[in-house]
Structure 1
Amino acid sequence: MKKIFIDRNEKFLRIAFREQDILKELFFQQNGQPYPGEVYKGIVKNIVPAIKSVFIDIGENKNVYMYLDNRLKNSKLKKGQEILVQVIKEDLGKKGARVSNCINIPGKYCVLNNTGKGIEFSKKIIDNEFKKNIIHNLHIPDGMGIMIRTLGHEASSSTIKMEFDSLYEIYKKIIIKNEYSLKSGLIFAGDGIIGKILRDKLQDDNFMIYVHNEDDYEKIKGHLEQYNYNINNIEFYSGNRNIFDYYNIENEILSLRNKRVYLKCGGYIVIDKTEAMYVIDVNSGKNVKGSSMEHTVFTTNLQAAQEIVRQIRLRNLSGIILIDFIDMDKQENKSQILELLRKGFFDDKNKTLVYQFTELNLVQIARKRFGRSIYDSIEEKCKCCRGSGNRIKFSYISMLIKNEIERINEEGIIQNIHIEIGNTYKRDIEKNTQYFLNSIGSKHKNIYLTYSHTEYFKVEPLVFSNQIDEFKEFKLNK
């Protein structure tokens, strides 16, 4: 069974996807930053012909950029000109988000766009009779286009037409709002990452969704009703603890910071990030029980391939990924490894290509980027290391501390809390102590804070008076 867990707080929206109780994918969205699918009214700020790019102010902290392309009729833009754009890639580091003047409004069965290309079909749809039926029954307004998604093959032409009409009404409202907006800013938020997950992951009633935000609950319930899913497949979580903490997802997320991942056979893989690519090394480790060297190597590589697919999708790795498998001589074994890798990415919405083995037993994977990797989502450069190392983001570790305090509260009302945290966060906390106290939800509590060389943190209740006396000089909210 598929299980989807949705956690929303004041800083993050996080979604975890489990299948057969194994964590398969994670999706992060940081509040207050442009996200793919959002539509903005912008003003052209700068045009750089040398890199065929235009930089646009959309009313956010960073300017976004767009590639100039004659096919999209955007190559004759002028400085100061207003333009309607849609985010197609999140910002990353100092680089702003990437946008396009091609507006796409996705549904479950089709995607509306303003390219004027008429009716197009997913490459996975090869049924010519279906295509003829859609072309005959679906009439698209001038200047508009529609892409029939793979799942659209299972729907009738009337169902697709109904969805297209609904999407077209949304598009017309976007155009009207843009015309009446006097300044740059968000025009259409869409249904964001939650809508994408519902469209991509739900295909039958074999799922459960767990959510703790009332607005999200109502919107998801409406989606399930619209597409005739069983509305009993959504459960509202009303506990005080963070939903990821309650279902033990938080620890699994933190474990993804580890470079080494062990396999059942005793072998392991090591995942490293370089400036240009990700490199994954496969090692036999303690797997020495096979009847022959070839069998041992193949078993290790086979399990490694399965785990590599899971880790790439779970960590949302993209770009060039180079895998160094243990050397194999038999072409048949190599073919099975490649088949396993390709099968693992078959339903991946991020376009992924798996190339043949090289002479050095290396396999290259090219994966299109959508969203941030797990490292970009939860890590930041450590200033104590002059930027040479990484730490958990201060905002993220504050959220984790808040989770621990809420967990302690479940066991009874505790007034005094001791927090031990790494020295790398000392400057951030002392810069704005009240902000830190608010972010960990410490209202009406006495917080005693000490620093150590630990990478993470520790939260413990102070129950006895001698414990409180021991830490009284470290009390924050005096």
Structure 2
Amino acid sequence: MPGEEAFAEINPPAKKSGRRPARPRRKKSEAVSPAEEIAAEGITDSAVSEVPEHPEAVVEKAATLDQVGEKVKRPSRSRGRRKPAPENIDIQDEEKSQGQELSEVVAEKAAIPDQVVEKAKRPSRSRGRRKPAQENIDIQDEENDEVPDVEDEKVVKGTISRLLINAEEPEECRIALLEDGRLESLHVSTVAKEHTKSNIYKARIVAVESNLQAAFIDYGTEKNGFLPFSEIHPEYYRQDVSEKTLKLIEQHQWKNLNINEVLERGQEMLVQVVKEEVGNKGANMTTYLSLPGRCVVLMPGSDSAGISRKISGEERRSQLREIMDSLEIPEGIGWIVRTASFDLTEGSLAKDVKYLLKLWGEIKGKGQAMDGVGLVYQDQDCVLRFLREHFDPEIKEILVDDLAAMEKVRDFIEMLPDKQRNTKVRLHKGARPIFNQYNVEDQIESIYQPQVFLPSGGSIVIDPTEALVAIDVNSGSTGKGQNFEDSIFKANMEAATELARQLRLRDLGGLIVVDFIDMRSQKNIREVERQVKVAMKRDKAKVDISRISKFGLMQISRQKLGAPVEALNYQVCPHCIGRGVVRSVETLALFYLRRMQTGASRKMVGRVECRFPLDVAHYLLNNKRHELIDLENRHKISVDIIADPALKPADHEIIFHKGETDRQVKES
């Protein structure tokens, strides 16, 4: 889908002299690295697997061999007990799959001479119990922990694509992409959760932490932003640095610099939001600004130039380089040609560049004139932002339920070249809400449920936690009447496709651990890994996928593009504080009874006044009446229990009145 960019590598930057070096230069004929595209364009691709920590970093791609095959020779049959027929069948399948892998490896050996193909003989069969074939597979998995790329694999899309925009209510804007009626992408923007990603602010450094090699900045919001040293442009370095520090700067030895030597509190700078605030964590910022357009991204403060890898054909890439070189782009401003430019004319590119240069001039002027910190540039609204990043000419129809939003969509379509204007834009006038009309509401509601059912009767259970996202695959009724291994393989294949879709829809990021159902066949394991890789190719986030381990676990690292969809529409439960469980009535009643006993043992307590939730108060009065009477008699006090239906399960109030002076000690 356009907007999902992946770029070629950057050559090492050339050395430049001077006290305030600009970002390392790069020949404009070279393509840009995935990392620079991520920082500049705010987009990612599943094919990108490395992000350099600083401008001088060079992305090195190492050819890796998918798996080392083992040539297996069956030993002679021993005189021991004959093994059951199903086990022999499994082993034959195992050897067949291993032989196929060996032939593939040998075929690749000519193209990759640095790789080593290991040949191993299976040890002779002992008279003891035969170990399952999975043990050999586990050893191979540990030797190569990466799933091979599947760049040649085409992602299957639906034949009918429809984009629905629900912008009728000012508090919330929802955009859904359907393929053959199935929800494939969802974007939600609410007034309560303001979108700040890609916004540009004037900020001031409030703290410099050498142990973190980062600075905390005030940019006009409640929480300070987090600015890593690797995201600070050299133009913001102090002038009065030592000769040693200056030499390191001139040699681009960024990792050897100490942030305290080049930055100080009170410095002002322009910063851009890379990742929004999540929970108690502030936003991640960068000083390497980027201004994305529909077909070009401009990067002020950089001389980098690149073209999307997804624009194939050297002839077309050369044409785009010549067009961009002919445009009047000032020195010190880099550019990236996006995938959407694959069939654009010189006039369209020039128009986009002209608009972005004018925008940069306005941002720079406003930042220089602004006193203090605050917002300098706000990214486009949710409708135009979604179209800029996700629009695909294959979308047949766009339906909008708001007249103002429809005009924005039409203006956007009019700016596209003639070849990309086939999409129809219509205003939804039906009596039913637009999402109900096309059966989208039920699909959206399923996003907020932990269990997702698979076509053949299985299911996956998604459980996000603070540390990671756990996904469990259950076979359910999959493959009833079929071979056990085949039914398990079918459930895992369906789960591989669905989990990729759910990660996109729910916008879950960080570490994801998938617990697949255990499989014996190495061929099936490799097919499931490949299916996950293919399904993830549609994801705009950067994704790294490991092989399935000997425990049946696959680890996936997915870049967090923003807060999960659930966080935009749900709030923490006030009763359980997000834990999902509350104490039982019996446990709470005993806990409060002990608190009363402890407080009553103090001297000068004359009366205990308690206010409990309704069910807890009823339990104490009905089931613990004898204990309450014993408490009153033993300490010569009175105990008053009030049932308050307005209290939450864990809320309570216990007041100890002291003797005749009626002094109070309140516990809650």
Q: Shorter-chain TM-score: which interval? A: 0.7 to 0.9
- Where 2:211 maps in the other structure, the secondary structure is helix
| Aligned CA distance change for structure 1 residues 181 and 71 (closer, same or farther; 3 Å) | closer
Partner of 1:16 in structure 2?
176
Partner of 1:38 in structure 2?
199
| Aligned CA distance change for structure 1 residues 34 and 306 (closer, same or farther; 3 Å) | closer
* Structure 1 letter corresponding to 2:223: K
Partner of 1:135 in structure 2?
321
| TM-score, normalisation: structure 2 | 0.55
| Aligned CA distance change for structure 1 residues 377 and 92 (closer, same or farther; 3 Å) | same
- Where 2:571 maps in the other structure, the secondary structure is strand
Tell me how far 1:243 sits from its aligned partner.
Answer: 4.2
Task: Identify which range, 156-165 or 231-240, moves more after superposition.
Answer: 231-240
| Aligned CA distance change for structure 1 residues 29 and 100 (closer, same or farther; 3 Å) | farther
Q: Report if the CA contact (8 A) 1:381-1:389 is conserved.
A: no
In structure 1, what is the Cα distance between the partners aligned to 2:437 and 2:215? 46
- Where 1:380 maps in the other structure, the secondary structure is coil
Q: Report if the CA contact (8 A) 2:232-2:286 is conserved.
A: no
| Aligned CA distance change for structure 1 residues 387 and 287 (closer, same or farther; 3 Å) | closer
| Aligned CA distance change for structure 1 residues 206 and 136 (closer, same or farther; 3 Å) | closer
- Where 1:195 maps in the other structure, the secondary structure is helix
| Aligned CA distance change for structure 1 residues 292 and 381 (closer, same or farther; 3 Å) | same
| Aligned CA distance change for structure 1 residues 243 and 288 (closer, same or farther; 3 Å) | closer
Q: Report if the CA contact (8 A) 2:181-2:438 is conserved.
A: no
Q: Report if the CA contact (8 A) 2:174-2:189 is conserved.
A: yes
Tell me how far 1:367 sits from its aligned partner.
Answer: 0.9
Partner of 1:51 in structure 2?
212
In structure 2, what is the Cα distance between the partners aligned to 1:342 and 1:99? 30
Task: Identify which range, 214-223 or 19-28, moves more after superposition.
Answer: 214-223
* Structure 2 letter corresponding to 1:100: T
Q: Report if the CA contact (8 A) 2:479-2:490 is conserved.
A: no
In structure 1, what is the Cα distance between the partners aligned to 2:298 and 2:314? 21
Tell me how far 1:222 sits from its aligned partner.
Answer: 0.8
- Where 2:291 maps in the other structure, the secondary structure is strand
Partner of 1:82 in structure 2?
268
* Structure 1 letter corresponding to 2:208: I
Gaps of 5+ in 2: 1-159, 238-261, 582-613, 615-644, 649-668
The answer to whether residue 191 in structure 2 is matched with residue 191 in structure 1 is no
* Structure 2 letter corresponding to 1:273: P
The answer to whether residue 528 in structure 2 is matched with residue 367 in structure 1 is no
String of CA shifts for 1:328-370, please: whole Å, max 9, x gaps: 2222222222222222221321111222221222222111110
In structure 1, what is the Cα distance between the partners aligned to 2:422 and 2:374? 35
Partner of 2:348 in structure 1?
159
The answer to whether residue 453 in structure 2 is matched with residue 262 in structure 1 is yes
In structure 1, what is the Cα distance between the partners aligned to 2:453 and 2:571? 25
The answer to whether residue 296 in structure 2 is matched with residue 110 in structure 1 is yes
Task: Identify which range, 101-110 or 75-84, moves more after superposition.
Answer: 75-84
Tell me how far 1:95 sits from its aligned partner.
Answer: 1.2
- Where 1:151 maps in the other structure, the secondary structure is helix
The partner residue of 1:330 within 521, 544, 550 is: 521
In structure 1, what is the Cα distance between the partners aligned to 2:646 and 2:174? 29
| Aligned CA distance change for structure 1 residues 4 and 184 (closer, same or farther; 3 Å) | farther
Partner of 2:595 in structure 1?
none
Tell me how far 1:81 sits from its aligned partner.
Answer: 2.6
The answer to whether residue 189 in structure 2 is matched with residue 3 in structure 1 is no
Partner of 2:15 in structure 1?
none
In structure 2, what is the Cα distance between the partners aligned to 1:212 and 1:255? 23
Tell me how far 1:104 sits from its aligned partner.
Answer: 1.2
Task: Identify which range, 336-345 or 30-39, moves more after superposition.
Answer: 30-39
Tell me how far 1:192 sits from its aligned partner.
Answer: 4.2
String of CA shifts for 1:234-282, please: whole Å, max 9, x gaps: 2223568754455443333232222111112111111112221111111
Please list, as runs of the form range in 1=range in 2, the aligned pairs for 1:52-67 lying within 5 A after superposition.
52-67=213-228
* Structure 2 letter corresponding to 1:227: L
* Structure 2 letter corresponding to 1:86: Q
In structure 1, what is the Cα distance between the partners aligned to 2:381 and 2:272? 12
Q: Report if the CA contact (8 A) 2:509-2:558 is conserved.
A: yes
Tell me how far 1:6 sits from its aligned partner.
Answer: 2.5
Q: Report if the CA contact (8 A) 2:231-2:287 is conserved.
A: no
| Aligned CA distance change for structure 1 residues 273 and 232 (closer, same or farther; 3 Å) | closer
| Aligned CA distance change for structure 1 residues 211 and 53 (closer, same or farther; 3 Å) | farther
| Aligned CA distance change for structure 1 residues 386 and 318 (closer, same or farther; 3 Å) | closer
Partner of 2:128 in structure 1?
none
- Where 1:383 maps in the other structure, the secondary structure is coil
In structure 2, what is the Cα distance between the partners aligned to 1:323 and 1:278? 8
The partner residue of 1:179 within 358, 364, 368 is: 368
Tell me how far 1:27 sits from its aligned partner.
Answer: 1.6
In structure 1, what is the Cα distance between the partners aligned to 2:376 and 2:426? 31
- Where 2:567 maps in the other structure, the secondary structure is helix
* RMSD (Å) for aligned C-alpha atoms: 2.9
In structure 2, what is the Cα distance between the partners aligned to 1:452 and 1:7? 38
* Structure 2 letter corresponding to 1:107: G
Q: Report if the CA contact (8 A) 2:460-2:495 is conserved.
A: yes
Determine what percentage of the aligned residue pairs are the same residue.
29
Task: Identify which range, 22-31 or 204-213, moves more after superposition.
Answer: 204-213
In structure 2, what is the Cα distance between the partners aligned to 1:373 and 1:306? 20
Tell me how far 1:145 sits from its aligned partner.
Answer: 0.5
Please list, as runs of the form range in 1=range in 2, the aligned pairs for 1:137-286 lying within 5 A after superposition.
137-139=323-325, 140-228=329-417, 229-230=420-421, 233-237=424-428, 243-245=434-436, 247-286=438-477
- Where 1:117 maps in the other structure, the secondary structure is coil
In structure 2, what is the Cα distance between the partners aligned to 1:190 and 1:92? 19
In structure 1, what is the Cα distance between the partners aligned to 2:231 and 2:218? 22
- Where 2:532 maps in the other structure, the secondary structure is helix
In structure 2, what is the Cα distance between the partners aligned to 1:221 and 1:284? 46
- Where 1:261 maps in the other structure, the secondary structure is strand
The partner residue of 1:320 within 505, 508, 511 is: 511
| Aligned CA distance change for structure 1 residues 248 and 181 (closer, same or farther; 3 Å) | farther
- Where 1:17 maps in the other structure, the secondary structure is strand
In structure 2, what is the Cα distance between the partners aligned to 1:288 and 1:232? 41
Partner of 1:418 in structure 2?
none
In structure 2, what is the Cα distance between the partners aligned to 1:184 and 1:238? 45
| Aligned CA distance change for structure 1 residues 47 and 213 (closer, same or farther; 3 Å) | farther
In structure 1, what is the Cα distance between the partners aligned to 2:394 and 2:361? 33
- Where 2:164 maps in the other structure, the secondary structure is strand
The partner residue of 2:188 within 24, 28, 45 is: 28
Partner of 2:287 in structure 1?
101
Q: Report if the CA contact (8 A) 1:58-1:64 is conserved.
A: yes
String of CA shifts for 1:310-332, please: whole Å, max 9, x gaps: 11111111111111111122222
- Where 1:160 maps in the other structure, the secondary structure is helix
- Where 1:385 maps in the other structure, the secondary structure is coil
| Aligned CA distance change for structure 1 residues 40 and 245 (closer, same or farther; 3 Å) | farther
Q: Report if the CA contact (8 A) 1:34-1:91 is conserved.
A: no
Tell me how far 1:112 sits from its aligned partner.
Answer: 0.9
| Aligned CA distance change for structure 1 residues 243 and 282 (closer, same or farther; 3 Å) | same
Q: Report if the CA contact (8 A) 1:289-1:296 is conserved.
A: yes
Tell me how far 1:130 sits from its aligned partner.
Answer: 3.4
In structure 2, what is the Cα distance between the partners aligned to 1:231 and 1:180? 44
Q: Report if the CA contact (8 A) 1:28-1:372 is conserved.
A: no
Q: Report if the CA contact (8 A) 1:6-1:16 is conserved.
A: yes
Tell me how far 1:201 sits from its aligned partner.
Answer: 2.9
* Structure 1 letter corresponding to 2:343: E
- Where 1:381 maps in the other structure, the secondary structure is coil
Q: Report if the CA contact (8 A) 1:17-1:23 is conserved.
A: yes
| Aligned CA distance change for structure 1 residues 69 and 291 (closer, same or farther; 3 Å) | closer
